[in-house]
Amino acid sequence: MHAYQVSSAGMPPEHAEIPRPTPAPGEILVRIAACGLNFADLLMIEGKYQDTPEPPFTLGMEVAGYVETLGPGVDGPAPGAKVAVFGGRGGLADYGCFPADRVVALPETADLEQAAALQIAYGTSHVALDYKARLRRGETLLVLGAAGGVGLTAVEIGKLMGARVIACARGKDKLEVAAQAGADHLIDAETDDIRDAVKSLGGADVVYDPVGGDQFRAALRACNPEARMLVIGFASGDVPQIPANHLLVKNIDVLGFYWGGYLKFRPEVVTQSLATLFTWLADGRIAPHISHRLPLARADQALELLRSRKSTGKVIVTP
């Protein structure tokens, strides 16, 4: 089968022909129909992601497809059934073996590209806003990087939860995407003073930050008393240092958040969240925004869209 693999840390990934895997006990072999890309894939290539496997490994963290074969002892969806999986790796390939307890059965009507696009981005935002930050109806949510893969879902889910949403992104085109997702107010990170703009709108009760750097520092200064700041990632490449005196004066909480970590110590949090999200998807309450679809043979170009920040929402690779 075809796979897009990292052969050694720090080296560019390569297309390879490798044997089709056989599922071990507790695993399911999935014929992959769609794989969602994430910023973490870029970090894995550089060996900088917190869960980077030992090379060689196949990139691609979240997939959707069809059950091909059940491993020994697995009582799971029947062969041919549609499923979604957060495997953490292995998605940029024709087939993949994944732990059965991470496989989520989908209805026959499910759109597999949307199912692949939903898991990490929507899962991150839903667990972060609902479980971690306790976002309440009527509060003001500031979303930084609001047109990116996770930021856009935070806008959408924040609105579903009844918040007033301020979206911050770079340029009119990206802000238009955030507006279409339901943002109430827009801030252009290229031209606007984020701190002043947010304060003029009454300040932020919850900040969702996948960017870091100067935007984090500006958002911190625009927080209301008892605000909660969600540290989602550092797409800017700048990990900000937090002035503890600002936290003290306004009783602000800064909350580190890593969605994949819950799979290790509180997997039920992720399972319950995904059940809610797939119900919302089936009901038409959420609609993953996919800006680009590319075949597996162009996986390098798909990743470059993330690296150059030319995508909005999700980039999907279809084996």
Cβ contacts of 140 within 8 Å, gap of 6 or more = 163, 164, 165, 166, 201, 202, 203, 204, 205, 206, 224
Domains of the chain, by residue range, sit at 2-110+289-318, 122-259
Alpha-carbon span 108 to 174, nearest angstrom: 33
> DSSP character for 14?
E
pTM of the model: 0.81
The listed CATH number (3.90.1150.10, 3.30.1300.10, 3.40.1590.10, 3.40.50.720) that belongs to domain 122-259: 3.40.50.720
Residue 60 near residue 85, CB atoms below 8 Å: no
pLDDT tens readout for residues 200-258 = 999 999 999 999 999 999 999 999 999 999 999 998 889 999 999 999 999 999 999 99
CATH homologous superfamily, domain 2-110+289-318: Medium-chain alcohol dehydrogenases, catalytic domain (3.90.180.10)
Cβ contacts of 216 within 8 Å, gap of 6 or more = 144, 209, 229, 231, 240
pLDDT tens readout for residues 121-176 = 899 999 999 999 999 999 999 999 999 889 999 999 999 999 999 999 999 999 99
Q: Grade residue 196 by pLDDT with cuts at 50, 70 and 90.
A: very high
What number is the average pLDDT over the span 276-287? 89
Residue 210 near residue 144, CB atoms below 8 Å: yes
